[in-house]
Structure formats: C-alpha cells, structure tokens
Structure 1
Amino acid sequence: MPTRPLPAALLALAVAGTVFLPAGASAASGPDTEARNRQIVTEAFARWQAGGSGFFDEVLSPDVVWTIEGSGPTAGRYEGRDALIARGVRPLTSRLATPIRPVAKTVWADGDHVIVAWQGEAMAVDGQPYVNRYAWILRMREGKAVEVNAFLDLVAYDDVLRRIPAAPAE
C-alpha cells in the first residue's frame, strides 16, 4: 500500500527530530479513520469554545501519555489523564478567574494523528490576561487520544504559577 506524504506541520516537526511515528505505524491509516479522528477533535474543541468543560474527559484516554515539550518545571511526561490534570492542568486553572477558552484553532489530520494549533485565552485571578498559543499532536486509537505531544509558551504558563499563589488545598 503506498504511503501518503505527511502534512507540512508534522513533517517539519519530524524533520526537526521532535516527532517520530512509532515502529509499524503508518500515516496511511485510511481516509475514514483520518476524517473520524479530525471530527472527534474538532467537535470537542467546538464544545469547549462554547463553554463546555469536558474536553479532557471526552478526548483523552484514561491512560494517555501526555508530554509537555520544552524545559522548565511544567515540561515533562504525564502518564494518565488524572496525572495530567492534577500536575499539569489544575495548577494553572486554579489561578484563573475564567476558564481557558480556545479563540482560534486549525485542525489537521493524518491517519491516526491529529494536529491542533490553537490559541487559548483566560483571565487570571490577579486581573491580568492569560493568552497562550498551543500546538498539540494527538495520536488517536478508537476515538481517544492515547499519546499527546504538547507545545506551548511555557514562559507565559509558568509566569501565572510564579505570580499567583496556589489556592489552599480543600
């Protein structure tokens, strides 16, 4: 079976040495899988943008491996959805007065991979805006993301964590 070329964004990351398809994986998983994966992620983002709060439960497998690329205290590997939410999501969202909402997004799909470039905005509890740009590469299996490589401006993220004290544990 002939393989299809990777989308430019994924190809650029692969050439840069950041993302590699696992052994035996192919970008040619079929147009139906590709369309279904793109639709799942696109619709979940639309619900999030409209005020929904279930994106991570809807899209992520409970045993997802989520890697925040880069350096700094937040970068690293999170094994499982609960670990990601506890150590990667909640420290930021607990310091925000409003939820992060996607305000712009572009979604590409190639076989089992969905790439989302998006901008999120919120207001921090100190009245300053939180604005960040993200690129997420999701590897999907049976309608759920099982691996995610997340790229974002960690300086903006970590600034909120440094600037605003953590809320006392309940």
Structure 2
Amino acid sequence: MKRSTVHRMASAALLCLWAGLAGAASQAQVEAGNKQRVTEAFDHWAAGGTRFFSDMLAPDVVWTIKGSGPSAGVYRGVDTFVEKAVRPLVTRLATPVKPLSRQVWADGDHVIIQWEGAGVARDGQAYHNSYAWIFRMHEGKAVEVTAFLDLAPYDEVLRRVPAQAGQG
C-alpha cells in the first residue's frame, strides 16, 4: 500500500473519531442542559413558582397520562392539557400541589423526574401523590411527556370536591 494511501486512511479515521467525540460531547452537553432546565424548573416550583407548565412545555406538547382511570389519556397541546388535566385538580385545592422531593435523570433528549407532591383540597383533606414524568426535550422545552401517577387520589379529589362555579 502506498504511503499516501495510508496517510489518507489514517486521516479519515482520525476525522471520524474526532467527529464522534465531538458529537458525544455535544450530546452530553444537551443532556446536561436538559437535566439542569428541568431541575431548575422544579426548584422554582417548589419555592412557590406558578409557571412550571408554561415554562417547561412546548405549545404543541403531547402529554400522556398512563393508567386506567377516568383521567388517563392523551392531551395534545399545552392549553388542552392545562384545561383538561391540571385545572380540574388545582381548582379543587386550597393550596397548590408542591413538589416535596425529587430525583432527576437524563438520557439523551429524555429527562425523567420522580417526585412526591402534596397539597390540601378545599374540603381540608390532604392530597398526596407520587409521580414519574418522562420528558422528551427539544430546544429546552418538553415536546412529549409520559406521566405516571397514582390516579386514585387524583380522581378522588375530583369526585369528592365540587368544582367551583364556572370552572372544570
């Protein structure tokens, strides 16, 4: 084999290796950035912030609540999700659900957060739930979310506490 051919092959191999390493570094930066974004949003929420969903979700998010209860389903768009899944609960609460503890993992463009939340319903009874949300992130916003939670306490609040007049 000619020396120039060997040099071209070695150069091509190094270029591929460099491109792979650069891609891996870039992917790691995206992953770390997504994890930081979700972590900071939860920290802000836990400190009393009220814009978690508008800050974190893309306008056309697809939010899926897994399970078999009446509240399980697929919600397309942040406005639909908030109107059909968030508002029915929060309008029945005397205090907002507050994240109490959390663990966050990131893998590629996915961020997984497991958290415990608590609030008080308007009838004075406590609301506690455990959640695991899987976000697929794109440019700092969640474009798809799969949510796992115990639907029994969620649906119980919806059954037990009447909706306020003019609210879902």
Q: Same fold (TM over 0.5)?
A: yes
Classify the secondary structure of the residue corresponding to 2:162: coil
Q: Distance in 1 between matches of 2:53 and 2:129?
A: 18
1:30 deviates by 1.2
Q: Percent identity?
A: 60
Aligned positions of 1:22-37 closer than 5 A: 30-37=27-34
Counterpart selection for 2:98 from 101, 107, 113: 101
Q: Do structure 1's residue 147 and structure 2's residue 135 form an aligned pair?
A: no
Q: Do structure 1's residue 42 and structure 2's residue 39 form an aligned pair?
A: yes
Classify the secondary structure of the residue corresponding to 1:45: helix
Counterpart selection for 1:53 from 45, 50, 53: 50
Q: Could you list the per-position Cα deviations for residues 66-116 of structure 1 after superposition, in whole angstroms to 9, with x for gaps in the alignment?
A: 000001110000000000000000000000000110000000000100000
Write the letter of the residue equivalent to 1:69: K
Write the letter of the residue equivalent to 2:44: R
Alignment correspondent of 2:84: 87
1:29 deviates by 7.2
Runs of 4+ in 1 over 6 A off after TM superposition: none
Alignment correspondent of 1:165: 162
Q: Distance in 1 between matches of 2:62 and 2:70?
A: 18
Q: Do structure 1's residue 121 and structure 2's residue 118 form an aligned pair?
A: yes
RMSD between aligned residues: 1.6
Classify the secondary structure of the residue corresponding to 1:133: strand
Q: Distance in 1 between matches of 2:97 and 2:65?
A: 17
Tell whether the 8 Å contact from 1:67 to 1:77 is kept in structure 2 after alignment. Answer: yes
Q: Distance in 1 between matches of 2:163 and 2:68?
A: 21
Q: Distance in 1 between matches of 2:26 and 2:68?
A: 33
How many residue pairs get aligned? The number is: 145
Q: Distance in 2 between matches of 1:125 and 1:81?
A: 25
Classify the secondary structure of the residue corresponding to 1:98: strand
Classify the secondary structure of the residue corresponding to 1:97: strand
Q: Distance in 1 between matches of 2:160 and 2:142?
A: 32
**If the length of structure 1 is used for normalisation, what is the TM-score?**
0.83
